[in-house]
């Protein structure tokens, strides 16, 4: 299963007028980073970086002067983000901006069913606790020493680690390899169906233990819940349990 953990930086907060200036993405396969990443800085057309936004990410108008427009990188962006689930923190913010950029070029929007938002995931898992990316990194002991300001690629890398922890930690990505059985492709996943055992295993209880257990169950009466699992009342036993025990004594 392919997933892209991503983040954006923008010139401001309103997607109708502000623009995307940085996109970062990290590819996961079955919740494991593959090493494939996407990163680009984008020159906003006819838009300056808002001072408040600059304080957050530190990306200046001067820095963006020689960077490509979104129209120039749209194809490679869509190629990397074309399939799989998209994971972001406070995803509605990033998706609104990306869809606004795609709309300006006549591309279809990113469908909401493709998007996983880690912010509500964190709030459900840790009610009343801070759910910022920094707070979650601290909770999961993820190193943020490189993070002076927000950055799309670095934040995507950190969020990928957070996301893996939110869904159960590293062991959630482990797969078991079974001998025998058959494989089939279902969507993006390989499903292995294991064949049934040709014959049941022998019971681990000895004959003597089984008889003594029946004696105990009989002592509980015909209404004992054990009879639901044994499937027969004491009266229907081929041999009375007390007699069987006496015979083994």
Q: Is the pLDDT confidence value at 241 over 80?
A: no
**Domains (range + CATH), the chain:** 2-172 (3.30.420.10), 207-248 (no CATH)
pLDDT for 45: 86
pLDDT of residue 192: 52
pLDDT at 15 (0 to 100)? 93
- Tokens at residue 12, please? 């401001």
Whole-angstrom distance, CA of residue 123 vs CA of residue 168: 15
For 159, other C-beta atoms within 10 Å of its C-beta total 24
Q: Is 50 exceeded by the pLDDT of residue 80?
A: yes
Band of residue 25 on the pLDDT scale cut at 50, 70, 90? very high
Q: Can you point out the beta strands (E) in 15-84?
A: 20-29, 32-41
Q: How many Cα atoms are found within 13 Å in the side-chain-facing hemisphere of 76?
A: 14
164/146 Cα distance (integer angstroms): 20
User: Which residues are catalytic, by number?
Assistant: 150
> What whole-number percentage of the chain has pLDDT above 70?
81
What average pLDDT does this structure show over 10-31?
A: 95
Average pLDDT over residues 41-46: 93
Distance of CA 143 to the CA centre of its chain: 20
Can you give the pLDDT at residue 35? 94
- Which of 25-29, 78-82, 216-220 has the least mean pLDDT? 216-220
Phi and psi angles of residue 147, each rounded to the nearest 5 degrees, phi first? -100, 85
In percent, the amount of the chain with pLDDT more than 90 equals: 61
Integer Cα distance of 137 and 157 in angstroms: 11
Q: What's the whole-number average pLDDT of the chain?
A: 84
Q: Is this structure's pTM higher than 0.85?
A: no
Q: For residue 83, what pLDDT band results from cuts at 50, 70 and 90?
A: confident
pLDDT tens digit sequence for 208-237:
888 888 888 888 887 788 777 776 654 555
**Residue 198 φ/ψ, nearest 5 degrees:** -60, -30
Buried b (16+ CB within 10 A) or exposed e, 46-81: ebebeeebbeebebeeeebeebeebeebbeebeebb
Decide: helix, strand or coil at residue 235.
helix
Is the predicted pLDDT of residue 177 greater than 60, yes or no? no
- Answer whether residue 156 shows pLDDT above 60: yes
Cα–Cα distance between 109 and 111 in angstroms, integer?
A: 6
How does pLDDT run across 91-137, given as a tens digit for each residue?
999 999 999 999 999 999 999 999 999 999 999 999 999 999 999 99
């Amino acid at each position: 299963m392919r997933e892209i953990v991503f983040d954006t930086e923008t010139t401001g907060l309103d997607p109708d007028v502000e623009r995307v200036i940085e996109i970062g993405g990290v590819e996961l396969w079955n919740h494991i980073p593959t090493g494939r990443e996407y990163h680009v800085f984008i020159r906003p057309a006819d838009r300056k970086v808002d001072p408040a936004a600059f304080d957050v990410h530190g990306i200046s108008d001067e820095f963006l002067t020689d960077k490509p427009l979104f129209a120039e990188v749209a194809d490679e962006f869509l190629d990397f983000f074309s399939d799989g689930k998209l994971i972001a923190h406070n995803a509605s913010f990033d998706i609104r901006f990306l869809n606004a950029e795609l709309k300006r070029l006549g591309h279809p929007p990113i469908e909401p069913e493709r998007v996983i938002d880690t912010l509500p995931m964190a709030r459900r898992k840790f009610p009343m606790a801070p759910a910022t990316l920094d707070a979650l990194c601290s909770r999961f002991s993820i190193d943020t020493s490189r993070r002076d300001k927000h950055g799309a690629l670095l934040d995507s890398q950190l969020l990928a680690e957070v996301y893996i922890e939110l869904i159960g930690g590293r062991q959630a990505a482990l797969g078991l390899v079974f001998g025998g059985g058959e494989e089939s492709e279902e969507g993006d996943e390989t499903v292995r169906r294991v064949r049934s055992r040709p014959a049941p295993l022998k019971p681990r209880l000895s004959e003597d233990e089984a008889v003594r257990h029946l004696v105990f169950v009989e002592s509980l009466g015909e209404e004992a819940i054990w009879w639901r699992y044994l499937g027969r009342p004491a009266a229907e036993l081929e041999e009375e349990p007390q007699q069987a025990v006496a015979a083994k004594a």
